Each structure stands twice: as structure tokens, then as C-alpha cells.
Amino acid sequence: MVAVALIGDPVAHSISPAIHRAAFEAAGLDWNYQLVRVPDGELGQAWPGLAGRFVGLNVTTPHKRTAALLADQLSPTARLCASVNTITFGPRGGFGDSTDGAGFLAALRRRAGALPGVAVMVGTGGAARAVAAALAGEGVEVRVVGRNRQAGAQLGRELGAVGPGTVAFLGTEVAALESSLAGAGLLVNATPLGGLDALGLSPLPEGVGLDPSVVVFDLIYRPRRTRLLCRAVAQGCVVVEGVDMLVEQGALSFEAWTGINGPIEVMRQAAALALESQP
């Protein structure tokens, strides 16, 4: 049986197997999707074995940037954001791509319509880089704040000239987040705050105001409604759930591996069922 896998740490609670297995079945493919935990710092050692076992990979935290270094070839998008979430193995080795940005834009447009002129990004990791690059490529001004000053400064330097939009790192302080929201039409959470390991936390402190005109997009999908999204709904904001992006980027990964358009509605239904069945 042909197999693909999700690599990362942790991966045990991922719903990606349910999504992709449903897609493979709908497409009439005798393929399987597995979860492979690879601890931080061990991807280089595991890489040859993964290439021998699988025709493709999805890559999640903490390996997106390392996978970009290990891939034999990179798409222009992956090269730009120095982040990979999809690997396709072939005769010429591993081809790395990032479907995060395109999946994010597709989910945002589907749920919220037109793109904003100004977006605030909280977070500086691999997914944040991909999303920031995608937004800037569409002409959006992206204001980045995050706890990791070094990663934020590097992100600003490397993506600052992407164009036609802009990417700038504004700082780590709550004051930087509050000031960055002035005139913004989109707030994106690309941190783990609000996920299963940090349920009681939010990237937006209670003292920071949230205008009802701001669209709020949380990349976390477990739980579907994070503390941030619940607050945004209460404020009258349009919200986009992380599962929307997960499905959209997953459909693009499916296409990269199989050459077939991902059955998006089948994948969306499988994602909803998988989340309902999990505690």
C-alpha cells in the first residue's frame, strides 16, 4: 500500500489521518496516512528512513524550517518563507513546498471575503512565516508581534521586501500588539496559545481592545473555538477557525502527492467528524 505520513512532535492527536484517508477513499486510491513522531533535533537522522517508507510527508511543529534545509528541491514559496509543510519524494529526491500560505488565503476568502489592507500576526514560527509571506504577496501590510525577538527580527528582515505588501516586526510587548491593531482588519494567531496545552491562555490580553470590524483567524484547530475566537464572537467579529486552513492546505498537499484535486468537501466533512469524536 502506498503511504504518506505526518511528522512532528507531538502528532498523536492530529486529525489529518481522518481527513486524508477519507480523501484517498473518495478518489479510489489504495493509500494510507500515518502519524510518525520525530522528536525535535532528530529529523536529519530520520530523513533517509522516511524517504524510503513514504511517497510524501506533511510536516508540522517543530520541523518546518529543518525540512526546508533537508529537501533536495524547494518550491519558490517554500524558498521564500524558509518553511516546508509538504514533501513529495521522487526520483530526484524530496521536493519541499509550503501549502500553509495558500491554504490560509483560501480559508480566509471563503469565510471572510476580501482581504484586509492591514493584518496583525501574533507569532514568529514556520506557519507565521508562510502566512505573512502569503498576505504580503497579496499586497497586505503585515504587522508581526511575538515573544521571540530574534525570530521576529529575522522574519522582518527576510520577508520585509516580499512585496507588493510589507512585513514588519513591531516587538514583543503588549503595547506593541495594542498599537499594531490600530487600523487593522485582520488578527491572526499563529502561536500555541489557546491550544490543548494552553487552553486558559490567549494571544490577546484582556486589556487589549478588539474592534468588531476585525476578522479574527486562529490557526489552532483543537479546540475549534479557542478562547480568542470565543472572545471575538462575543465582540461581534467574523472569525475563521484553524480547521478551515487545515483542510485547505491539506487539499493542496493531496494534489501534490497524487496529481488529483483534493475532494475538499469530503475532507471538510471528515475533519468535522474527527473533531466531534475527540474529547
The b/e string for 60-73 (b: 16+ C-beta within 10 A; e otherwise) is bebbbbbbbebbee
Please state the length of the chain: 279
Catalytic one among 20, 63, 64, 129? 64
Classify strands 56-59 and 86-90 as parallel, antiparallel or unpaired: antiparallel
d(CA 192, CA 173): 17
Q: 93 in the Ramachandran plot: left (φ > 0), alpha (ψ -120 to 50) or beta?
A: left
Residue 79 neighbours by CB distance under 10 Å: 16
The b/e string for 130-160 (b: 16+ C-beta within 10 A; e otherwise) is bbbbbbbbeebbbbbbbeeeebbeebbebbe
The angle that helices 16-26 and 264-277 make with each other, rounded to 10 degrees, is 140
Question: Do 61 and 8 meet the contact criterion of CB atoms below 8 Å apart?
Answer: yes
Active site includes 163? no
d(CA 82, CA 206): 33
For residue 55, give the C-alpha cell.
511517497
DSSP type of residue 213? T
For residue 248, give the C-alpha cell.
485547505
d(CA 154, CA 158): 6
Residues recognised as catalytic: 64
